[in-house]
Structure 1
């Protein structure tokens, strides 16, 4: 899968435009700067999904891909 922008789908999960979505326990790679990919894990706190290593970072709008 190529990189894509994360959006929230109808199920409340963060997804890529091809329908691939991320849920608790899924590995994800996010691009935090020009060409630097970070591998982390998706978690859920009973309110929303978040990134294990970056819990304060808003997921919607991030450039991401499935590892």
Structure 2
């Protein structure tokens, strides 16, 4: 299984806020990860960010 990054780590790498990452993942606008709705009501999410996809995104390949 591929390791994942935290929202905070991805935000630091991209020089943006963690909230920007969370909102982008929830909206499906950031292709390097996903936001999983843990209870089906939109109140609690788990964020999965894949390092290889993040690198591809930064390289312009995603």
Fold in common (TM above 0.5): no
Shorter-chain-normalised TM-score: which range? under 0.3
Give the TM-score taking structure 2 as reference length: 0.27
In the superposition, the TM-score normalised over structure 1's length comes to: 0.26
Larger C-alpha radius of gyration, 1 or 2? 2
Structure number with the higher strand fraction is 1
